[in-house]
Structure 1
Amino acid sequence: MTSRDKKLEKYLPSSASFQIDEFPFYWVAKLNALYSREMEKTLKPLNMDISRWRVAMLLRVHGDLSIKDITEHALAKLPTITKIVYKMRDEGLVDVQPSELDGRVSIVSLTEQGRDKVEQVRQQTHHLFTEAFSGMTETQINRSTALLKKYFENLSEVE
């Protein structure tokens, strides 16, 4: 075992020297749970939830997307996203049309009401994000984002 491997042991749950407070995924899980709780509290009065918010923001950022594309961006299952999209359609937040290139593909777009809802949520959640980034520099935020991307890429290679 190299000295590098020895230093990394405290990050491995299978190791006797594992230290949970040093385990990045412990903090990712805690952060995600806290983020979800705070977002749900903020979204509920707006008649939104995190799943619909995620779909709406993906559409705002990327424009029209197929249900399959939304599934890939959200890392969710196709039946789950399909159910969310059609619920949003019934609420008037999105429009679902067959693709002009392939009628078997459903293209989802935000309606005017959906765009308005996204803006409402963005205004109501602004404080959460300013608080989350409080005391952090742009360099720190960029570095933490880069590290999270690297964890994601590494795990994406696992088969």
Structure 2
Amino acid sequence: MADNDPRRFIPEGEGFHYDEFPFYWLVRLHALYTLELEKVLKRLNTGIPQRRVLIVLRQHGVVSVSTLAMHVVIKPSTLTRILQRMREAGLIEMRTNAEDARVTDVLITPEGVDLAARIEEATRRIFVRSYRDLDAVELERLMKVLRHMFVNLSEH
């Protein structure tokens, strides 16, 4: 099989090497990223799910629970429990959507904005370190490839 044939990255047969499997590296990268984030976030008395929620809300403003679940990649039932704790902590508000009473909207509070800013500052070094020696073109290409793979897997 030629070196430029993408089939060589499919785990099958004798010639397959796990260290040439893209998902092997994605999983390892995600695990290391998660460990690093958890260390930093623990000092702020928060966690990764709360970070995801605050980032999405800070960027989009008001978001429905179902849309938020999609963006933060958390099951709606699990997300609801997280949101309840965040509401109790004063980080978010939850309201019935004015146009559709079946929809619950979530919005960030000033306290949530403050925590999101502290999280961003505290985690900045992780991202700077992970992108070291990569230029903007390489990062843009990486994003393009990851989005492409995401779309491929999203197709039914």
| TM-score normalised to structure 1 length | 0.92
* Residue correspondence of structure 1 range 32-71 to structure 2 within 5 A: 32-71=30-69
For residue 74 of structure 1, report the CA deviation from its aligned partner: 2.0
User: Which structure has the higher relative contact order (CA within 8 Å, separation 6+)?
Assistant: 2
Which string of whole-angstrom CA distances, capped at 9 and with x for unpartnered residues, describes residues 100-154 of structure 1? 1112211100000000000000011111111111111000000011111111111
User: Which amino acid counterpart does residue 71 of structure 2 have in structure 1?
Assistant: H
CA contact (8 A) 1:9 1:15 kept: no
Of the three residues 5, 8, 22, the one matched with 1:7 is 5
CA contact (8 A) 2:49 2:72 kept: no
CA contact (8 A) 1:94 1:109 kept: yes
Q: Distance in 2 between matches of 1:15 and 1:61?
A: 45
Q: Distance in 2 between matches of 1:6 and 1:135?
A: 25
Partner of 2:106: 108
Partner of 2:93: 95
SS at match of 1:15: coil
Which string of whole-angstrom CA distances, capped at 9 and with x for unpartnered residues, describes residues 36-65 of structure 1? 000000000101100110011111111110
CA contact (8 A) 1:66 1:105 kept: yes
For residue 5 of structure 1, report the CA deviation from its aligned partner: 10
Of the three residues 113, 118, 121, the one matched with 2:119 is 121
Partner of 1:82: 80
Count how many residue pairs are aligned between Structure 1 and Structure 2.
156
| TM-score normalised to structure 2 length | 0.94
Q: Distance in 2 between matches of 1:84 and 1:50?
A: 11
Consecutive unaligned residues in structure 1, runs of 5 or more: none
User: Which amino acid counterpart does residue 19 of structure 1 have in structure 2?
Assistant: H
Q: Which runs of 4+ in 1 moved over 6 A?
A: none
Q: Distance in 1 between matches of 2:148 and 2:78?
A: 27
SS at match of 1:154: helix
Consecutive unaligned residues in structure 2, runs of 5 or more: none
CA contact (8 A) 1:99 1:107 kept: yes
Identity of aligned residues (%): 35
SS at match of 1:97: strand
More deviation in 7-16 or 105-114? 7-16
Partner of 1:148: 146
Which string of whole-angstrom CA distances, capped at 9 and with x for unpartnered residues, describes residues 76-98 of structure 1? 21101111111110111000011
User: Which amino acid counterpart does residue 120 of structure 1 have in structure 2?
Assistant: R
